[in-house]
Every structure is written in C-alpha cells, then in structure tokens.
Amino acid sequence: MTDARDPLYSLRHSAAHLMAQAVTELYPGTKLAIGPPIEEGFYYDFEFPKSITAEDLPQIEARMQEISKRDLTIERLTRSRQEATALYSKSNQPYKLELIEAIPDGDPISFYEQGDWFDLCRGPHVNRTGQIRHFKLLSIAGAYWRGDERNRMLTRIYGTVWPTQAELDDYLNRLEEAKKRDHRVLGRELELFLFTPEVGSGLPLWLPKGAVLRETLEQFLKMEQQRRGYMPVVTPHIASSRLYAKSGHLSTFNNKMFPMMNDEEAHETFILKPMNCPHHIQIYASQTRSYRDLPFRLAEFGTVYRYEQSGELNGMLRVRGFTQDDAHLFVTPDQLQDEFKAVVDLMVTVLRKLNLQEYRLRIGVRDPEDDKYIGSDENWSAAETAIKQAVADLKMDYSISKGDAAFYGPKLDLMVRDALGREWQMGTVQVDYNLPERFELEYIGEDGKPHRPLMIHRAPFGSLERIIGLLIEHYAGAFPTWLAPIQVRVIPIADRHQSAASEIARQLRDAGYRSEVDVRNEKTGYKIRQAEVAKIPYMLVIGDRDIAAGTVSVRHRGEGDLGAVPIHQFMERLAADCN
C-alpha cells in the first residue's frame, strides 16, 4: 500500500502505531523498527527483550482496544536532527537512529505522538486513537531488519484493520474462504498430488486424477500451439555443464541449481537443467537456417529443476522440480513485434479458456544496481523497447517492476486475479538478444549473408504445477467439466442396476468422457453425497424407472436433480459443457 492519500492508509498506519504503543507498554525495553501499512492491514517489526509467541497476541490486542478507548489525540511534531537523535539515544532505539540517519538533510523529521508514546513517522495518521476500532492481530513471524538476510532477525506482528466491523468480518471471512480453498488441502482431498519426504521436498508426485488434469491442460495448449505453427521437441533433463557454461547459467544461476553430477571416467560434469532454452538453442543451431525458416517455434513441456531455498517451498506454487509449458521462438528483428503480439494473443486465449478474466501485465526490467545480468546495455534497452511498444500497440495497460527481469532479458509477466481477488503470477514472455549472441546463432537473410536472430521465451501457464495450484484455488476444486478428472459418476440405486450403469459409463468413455460407476452397496443418498464432496460435475442415477424408460437421471454438482433424459441428450449437454 503506497498511496498516502487513501484514508485506509492512515487508518492502517495508525493501527501499526497503536500496536507498537501496546507492545511498548506491555514489554518495556522493546526496540522498535518499522511499521508500515500493507495491502490488507499492517505490521510492525520489533526486537523483544524476550521472545513472544502467538499466544501473546490476544493480550496485545486487548491492550490495543484499551488504548483505543483512551481516545488519545494523535499529534504531529517536528524535531531537529539533533533533538531526534538525542531522543532515541536516550530511549535506546538503534533502529530508529538508523532511520534518522537515512533521512536526507533538509527533510523535516516528524514524529507522531499519542499520550506519552511517540514514533518517528512521516504520516499521515488519523486524529485520535478512538478512530481505530475494528482490528485483529493475525500472525507473528520473523523478518530481517531491512529485508536483508545478513541483518538481525526481528519479530514481526501482522494485523488487519478496517473502517467498520462489517468490513473486518468480511475480510476475516475471506481469509476463512481462502483457507478452505488451499490447494495443498484440496490436492490431498481430491487425490491430485502428493509429496513424500522420501522423494524430497518440493518434488511433487502426480496422482492419477492430478495427472488427468495436467494432461487435459497440455492437450488444450498443444492444440492451440499446433494451430499457431509451433513444432514440438523433446529434450533430456540433464546436460553437460559445458552447455550451461556457454549460456551463462553456470555463473549467474548457480545458486539455484542442484549440485552437479560428476562423471569422473568421462571427465564430464552434468547438470540437472534449470531451464530449457539452451537445449532448444542446440536444435536451432544444428542446421543452417534461412530467413524462410523463421519464425522458428520450438515447444516443449519441459521439466526443469531449481534448488529453491527450503523455506520458500510452498505446495505446488513453489517447487523444486516443475514442468514449464515452454517454447522458444527464433525470429528476425522484423518479425519480433508480430510474434510478440501473437504470443500475447495466445495468452489471452488461454486465460479465457480458464475463465480467468481479470489480469494485468507487468514488465520486469533490470535493476541497475544488480550485476546478475548478461549482455550489453544496447541489447537490454532494445528488448525493453520492443516489449513496451508491442504492449502499447495492443492497447494494454502495464506496470513496470524493477529487478523482475530474467538474467538474459526483460520480461512481460501475466498477473492474474482469481475468484477471491487474489493476484498470482502466471505466464511470462521474454525478449532475448543475449543468448543468440552467446551461442552465435545465425540465419541466412535475403541478402545471402548471415544475420543474428532474436529469441522469444514464453510460457502461457508458467508451469503446470503453478497453474494447477492456481486453478484449484480459483475453482475451489470444483473444476469445469472439460477439466474435471472424473466428469461423470454413474450411481446405480440397487445391485440389479449395476450392469445397466456400467453400460452407460462405458458408452460415455467410448465417446471420450471420463466416467466411472459407484458399485458399492450403499444408499443412493450416500453415494450422491460422496460424489458431491468429490466435486464431480455430473451424477447419473440409474434405477428401475430409467431402465424402463431408457433414460438417465441427471444431477449436477451444486445444481441438484435435473430430471431424466435419454443418454444422447445428456451427451449433448456434456459436449456443450466441454467445448
């Protein structure tokens, strides 16, 4: 949250102060760091004299309520640098002293005071502590001073605050809803995937139902890509370290790669691939290419391995082995704009299919302070210009994010909002002048002379792991019919209806639908309940009446009983659902 004019900004920032005051009163000697407002609340970082736990939060919250009731006036004061420094030296607040040092000469040094408590702060704030009423402390966590892991670890307390009780309740309900949709929980309940310590952290095992989901997404995208002139390739999961030395990964991506494998006999070192591009480049470079061959589009669902820090792993959203819906497009400079736009068009098609209608574009550019990037400044600015221009031509809005580029080039990221309004990073397109240079790629132009192509790296889903994590939470596990691992469950009422039910399931499978029969000796109501819990889109109840009339009794998940229709009529409905 950055807009200081937003009234929520003041409220949240003031709530952070309120919490810091409560903490100071309860735990004298606590050192204060920073406490800004954030997207949906606020936090404050403290160095406590002795460590606290989540069990202490209710007590802090109660004290906050009490200070709110005191209804103290919140006042802004300005102090000279000398006075400010003296104030914090006396009260032993090293973090505040460091913050004062960072304030440029000439800028005012302002404080906000409420009762006998004050804090160095730019403001603005609400006028009285009594205006801060509808808040809740949420969690406690560690955070480095200034976000730098070389610094001391502080204790951060997160909270949320809203203008009204109704808005607070609404927010807390949304948190509850998010918890119910947690893809890690649903992934287990719906039997989609599994992690075991024996395989290793961040290395997912796809269960049959998850694999169906994954293959369905793959098939959809493969079809779109085939239509758009992509060619499939398949490359190995490992490569000689020489390949990655040449690409620059070895020096710039080193800390993210799994330890290397040594083949001492062959005097060779192998690397588990962290990206597919060098492999695809080998394919491009294996022949002399003509300008007539370009754009040359190589696509692969390529599995890559990255050694993410253990604490960063998070279900399917952050894993160590994952499959990108990757492709590399080798183009002439003239083709760049059109190809780039075609990629954005493909991405929009994918979003529409997945019913993710709310999204924005983020252009990730270099952080000039960082030296992890390869290639010349000219290449970088050419690539950046190309992306901005293509996006401008498409009349799409974008934001710029410094430091979010890949090491070989800037990128355009697709930021998607799910059903709960949460934002996720999905697909990405990157323009790359640098790897073609490193690998000395060429094509023969109309002039009969060699020229250097450009590369576009792109992945509309991003990775199958992440997109499926996103989709699970977006749909709360209730996938649309075309994606659902089981589309139809046939439910015979009694034993004597089993063969008719199996016949119906077989007909559906013959027609290409995923269907199964619940043959257990259970009551119909119970089988329906279990199918609903399993979030299967269609249930077909088969009893004497249906067998006599040649119909199936259709029930849709969430919609209830839809009545009896002939099987062919039900299949038409299925087909309409799946197109």
Would you say 334 and 222 are in contact if contact means Cβ atoms under 8 Å apart? no
Assess whether 309 carries a catalytic annotation: no
d(CA 495, CA 472): 35
Q: Is 326 a catalytic residue?
A: yes
Question: Which one from 21, 324, 335, 487 is the annotated catalytic residue?
Answer: 324
**Number of shown-chain residues binding RNA (CB under 7 A):** 79
Cα 518 to Cα 389, 423, 475: the distances in Å are: 56, 38, 25
Q: Which is nearer to RNA, 350 or 539 (CB)?
A: 539
Interface residue with RNA among 246, 381, 524, 573 (CB under 7 A) is 524
306 is an active site residue: yes
Whether the CA torsion 392, 398, 401, 405 is positive or negative: it is negative
* Segment lying near RNA (by CB under 7 A), choices 65-73, 98-106, 263-271, 448-456: 98-106
- Of 106-114, 234-242, 273-281, 451-459, the window that binds RNA (rule: CB under 7 A) is 106-114
In the set 17, 96, 249, 306, the catalytic residue is: 306
Q: Is 17 a catalytic residue?
A: no
Give the three-state DSSP class for 362: strand
121 carries an active-site annotation: no
Q: Which of residues 30-59 bind RNA (CB under 7 A)?
A: 34-39, 51, 53-54
Q: How far is the CB of 416 from RNA (least distance, A)?
A: 16
The answer to the question of residue 502 lying near RNA (CB under 7 A) is no
Q: Do 433 and 409 form a contact (C-beta atoms < 8 A)? A: yes
Q: Are 420 and 174 in contact (CB under 8 A)?
A: yes
Note whether 526 binds RNA by CB under 7 A: yes
Does 452 bind RNA (CB under 7 A)? Our answer is no
Position 496, amino acid: R
The least CB distance from residue 382 to RNA, in Å, is 28
Instruction: Tell which positions 282-321 bind RNA, by CB under 7 A.
Output: 309-315
- Asked about 411 being catalytic, the answer comes back as yes
The piece of 108-116, 277-285, 466-474, 479-487 that touches RNA (CB under 7 A) is 108-116
Distance CA 203, CA 356 (A): 27
279 in active site = no
Binders in 455-494 for RNA, by CB under 7 A: 493-494
Cβ atoms of residues 323 and 301 within 8 Å: yes
Q: Select 255 or 286, whichever has its Cβ closest to RNA.
A: 255
Going 401 to 406 to 407 to 408, the CA torsion angle's sign is: negative
Establish if 422 lies at the interface with RNA (CB under 7 A). Answer: no
Q: Which of 107, 116, 264, 371 binds RNA (CB under 7 A)?
A: 107
Is 435:429 a contact under the CB 8 Å cutoff?
no
Among residue numbers 59 through 78, which ones bind RNA (CB under 7 A)? Answer: none
What count of other Cβ atoms lies within 10 Å of the Cβ of residue 264?
Answer: 7
Q: Give the residue with the Cβ less far from RNA, 175 or 392.
A: 175
The one catalytic residue in 457, 514, 527, 535 is 457
Annotated catalytic residue within 279, 328, 489, 557: 328
Three-class SS state of 421:
coil
Q: Which of 214, 320, 411, 514 is catalytic?
A: 411
Among 76, 128, 174, 188, binds RNA (CB under 7 A): 188
Is the four-CA dihedral 415, 418, 422, 426 of positive or negative sign? negative
Question: Rounded to whole angstroms, how far apart are CA atoms 458 and 431?
Answer: 9
Determine how β-strand 423-432 pairs with β-strand 454-459: antiparallel
Contact of 424 with 465, CB cutoff 8 Å? no
Among the listed residues 104, 124, 102, the one whose alpha carbon sits nearest the alpha carbon of residue 112: 124
Kindly indicate which of the ranges 29-37, 292-300, 334-342, 364-372 contains the residues binding RNA, using the contact rule CB under 7 A: 29-37
Q: Is 425 in the site for RNA (CB under 7 A)?
A: no
Residue 202 engages RNA in binding (rule: CB under 7 A): yes
CA distance 151 to 480: 47
Q: Per CB under 7 A, which of residues 118..157 are in contact with RNA?
A: 119-122, 139-144, 146-149, 153, 155-156
* Residue 289 beta carbon to RNA: minimum distance, rounded to whole angstroms: 42
Q: Is 360 in the site for RNA (CB under 7 A)?
A: no
Residue 563: exposure state from Cβ atoms within 10 A (0-12, 13-18, ≥19): exposed
- The reply to whether 550 sits near RNA by the rule CB under 7 A is no
Q: Give the separation between CA 348 and CA 359, rounded to whole angstroms.
A: 10
CB nearer to RNA: pick between 460 and 477: 477
Q: State both tokens at 202.
A: 């961040």
The two three-digit tokens of residue 25, written as one number: 């009163």
> Which residues are designated catalytic?
277, 306, 324, 326, 328, 411, 457
